[in-house]
Amino acid sequence: MLRVPRIDFKRPSSKQNFDVLGDWIEAITLFGQDKITRNEVAEILSEDERFPKRPREAALEIANGAWTEIEDRKEQGRIPERLAISIDEINDSTIWVESPIRSFLLVLSLFKAYPDWAKDISNSVEQGYLFEDLVEALCPALLPGWQVRRFGWPPRNGISFSSNLIALRNFLNTGTLQINTNDSIPPHAKDAGLDIVCCRNFSDSKEAFPVILLQCASGKNWSEKIHTPSSALWKQLLNLAVEPSTGIVVPFIIDEDKMRQTSLEGQTVIFDRLRILSSVAEMKFELPNKLAKRLVQWMEPKIENLPR
**In sequence order, which residues have a C-beta less than 8 Å from that of residue 262 and are 6 or more positions away?**
223, 226, 254, 268, 270
Cβ–Cβ contacts within 10 Å for residue 54, how many? 10
Q: What pLDDT score was predicted for residue 8?
A: 65
Residue 57, CA distances (Å) to 15, 35, 90, 185, 243 in order? 18, 23, 21, 55, 53
C-alpha closest to that of 168 among 192, 144, 137, 188? 192
Element (H, E) at 270: strand 269-271
pLDDT value, residue 187: 47
Q: What is the pLDDT of residue 51?
A: 62
Mean pLDDT for all residues in the chain: 86
User: Given 1.20.1440, 3.30.460, 3.40.50, 3.40.1350, which CATH number is that of 124-304?
Assistant: 3.40.1350
Q: Span 35-56, mean pLDDT?
A: 80
Q: Examine the pLDDT at 113 and tell me if it is beyond 90.
A: no
Model-level pTM? Answer: 0.90
Q: How far apart are CA 304 and CA 300, in angstroms?
A: 6
* pLDDT value for 77: 64
pLDDT at 181 over 80: no
d(CA 302, CA 108): 10
* Spatial distance between the Cα atoms of 110 and 257, rounded to a whole number of angstroms: 21
Q: What is the pLDDT of residue 188?
A: 45
pLDDT, tens digit, for every residue of 244-283? 999 999 999 998 889 999 999 999 999 999 999 999 999 9
Query: pLDDT above 70 covers what percent of the chain?
Result: 86
Residue 241 is given by DSSP the state S
Residue 269 confidence (pLDDT): 96
- What average pLDDT does the segment 86-113 reach? 93
Could you please report the per-residue DSSP string of 130-176? HHHHHHHHHHHHHSTT-EEEE--SS-TT---HHHHHHHHHHHHT---
Domain ranges of the chain: 15-94, 124-304
Q: Output 182 or 7, whichever has higher pLDDT.
A: 7
Q: Give the pLDDT score at 259.
A: 92
How confident is residue 183, by pLDDT bands cut at 50, 70 and 90? very low
Per-residue pLDDT tens digits for 193-239: 899 999 998 888 788 899 999 999 998 889 999 999 999 999 998 99
